[in-house]
Structure 1
């Protein structure tokens, strides 16, 4: 079928889709890299976070044992301290998460930023479009992928807790620092195990997103033809333009025939009109030339305007084939043309300097 999209998208189609912000991005890849970055950042920042939390807790435990007068200013001081402690612990991780998400997305989209994707589209409010999305291939794949993720996650968590249950129970007898470090390392190890499993899912998701994107931007043969018309111009319109340009050029050429000094014919197949201005031309100039019907028009126009017409078959054919319009004739024909012009000038009682 003419409208069936079976052709790979052209470079122009890809460029247009990119301008619209339509590029393929794997959210699973972004999520995986973000999670790994956040948790390993938390591991690096943990000593500082621990010191801040410890100082905050010791300070307020001391308040609890010594403070008897609780005022509004004291509550405000505690609240401000809690906010500052939380900010010092959370803001670096939040900033790392934001930067990581932006960088991963920009890498996948090759530094794409498009305002078109932010423009409101009323088609999104169409219930039929929403239903189509719900029952689409993409939504089915997302459901299957989500089920696989949950199954893998529960399996890893179950095995992790089962294998470390005894070690986790021993944290009750450890110091705060030792138990915190153990718990953090355990969580990071668990996240690492989950990430390794999800890495395979992310790779498959990336491949699927690429395949689905290529499928969506495929073009029909008709689309490719229409694109070619837009890029190169409609062949029919271009043909019309060329025809108009040809007619205009021919009209201008025919307007030069009455002012020519001589027309050489062969006898009806070729005709060339030459003009020679002694003051400014170095050699006779070809102002018009034609073959067959156009040759006859040149001859008739010349005769109508009393321009001398000379029959010289080889000379007419040679000048026709070797000389461009508004160009000087080849040097090899100077002598022959000069004799003809001298003869014509004598007939017209004109003086000619060669």
Structure 2
């Protein structure tokens, strides 16, 4: 009863931290149908585009071995094993790339959902995994029944698609006895490819539906209560590393926003090397010049570079720059005591520019 009350209280969507913690523990949304779709697609592609070449190559190699059959001795068991090993090696050399391709397709279907990671906790022995009670709950609980109905729906849907496709097969098979073997085999190959292609399309629909379902269930299992969200926020706010990171991100965003305002500045005052202040003055919008960017050393140098790139006027005035740097913050209007000095500089530079 307590478990049901606890589940009922978890009505909020999981936070990014909750999702990341679950992923690190190996608790990820995973659709079993996607690897099957990738493998089936690989099989269809191989049969459709490479089966003739593979079959011809295998036939040639086996014919060579059969032509040399008289050279092999079968007097002992060891001789027989040697001949069988040779036939097996020839076959595997040709089929190995196909088998590796199918294995790669299956892995690709898994990796497409979640990047591979080693989670030792998932392989750690736990008594609950061999508990009859837990096993019974997994088999006959809500999730167990959901998986059961998913399998039934998959079989019904795939079977329906195959039956719909198979309607045109019987006339071809009925004409087999009166058709040349080459034409009949070509028709069978075409039918097989069509059947596989139909199964791929059906499996694609199933895989997409299952992927959406598993992601929905994963998010549902990770839902949080209001108390859990509050506790997480408190923990994040009290973590010095988290605070430092948040402050660092805030500073970086402020710096980028500040640098983005430099191209629209009217004037940049410099120290000339240690300080730089970018001012914007667009009357009547600005009743007085506004500091849109300021910085020391490397930041000051970057402000001057951006100003030069955007043809913003740059003026060297160490005393005024130092005094203004200490007195005015970003996005603030300069104090009245600086009005006259800044106005004279703007007028002087405009005349010089003209």
Q: Same fold (TM over 0.5)?
A: yes
**Does structure 2 conserve the Cα–Cα contact (< 8 Å) formed by 1:42 and 1:93?**
no
Indicate the SS of the match to 1:108: coil
Show the counterpart of 1:71.
75
Aligned counterparts of 1:228 and 1:25: Cα–Cα separation in 2: 29
1:123–1:136 distance in 2 versus 1, CA, 3 Å: same
Show the counterpart of 1:168.
173
1:87–1:57 distance in 2 versus 1, CA, 3 Å: closer
Query: 1:77: Cα distance to partner?
Result: 4.0
- Please report the RMSD computed on the Cα atoms of aligned residues, expressed in angstroms: 3.0
Divergent runs of 4+, >6 A: 66-69
Show the counterpart of 1:139.
144
1:224 aligned to 198, 216, 229, which one?
A: 229
Query: 1:109: Cα distance to partner?
Result: 1.2
Show the counterpart of 2:106.
101
Unaligned segments of structure 1, at least 5 residues: 235-354
**Does structure 2 conserve the Cα–Cα contact (< 8 Å) formed by 1:38 and 1:97?**
yes
1:210 aligned to 211, 215, 233, which one?
A: 215
1:16 aligns with 2:51: no
* CA radius of gyration, larger in: 1
**Does structure 2 conserve the Cα–Cα contact (< 8 Å) formed by 1:26 and 1:205?**
yes
Aligned counterparts of 1:80 and 1:179: Cα–Cα separation in 2: 34
**Does structure 2 conserve the Cα–Cα contact (< 8 Å) formed by 1:56 and 1:81?**
no
1:128 aligns with 2:128: no
Show the counterpart of 2:48.
43
Query: 1:133: Cα distance to partner?
Result: 0.9
Show the counterpart of 1:80.
85
1:187 aligns with 2:164: no
Aligned counterparts of 2:154 and 2:111: Cα–Cα separation in 1: 25
**Does structure 1 conserve the Cα–Cα contact (< 8 Å) formed by 2:13 and 2:224?**
yes
Indicate the SS of the match to 1:58: helix
**Does structure 1 conserve the Cα–Cα contact (< 8 Å) formed by 2:165 and 2:198?**
no
Matches within 5 A, 1:143-154: 143-154=148-159
Indicate the SS of the match to 2:112: helix
- Count matched residues: 232
TM-score, scaled to structure 2: 0.57
Aligned counterparts of 2:125 and 2:185: Cα–Cα separation in 1: 48
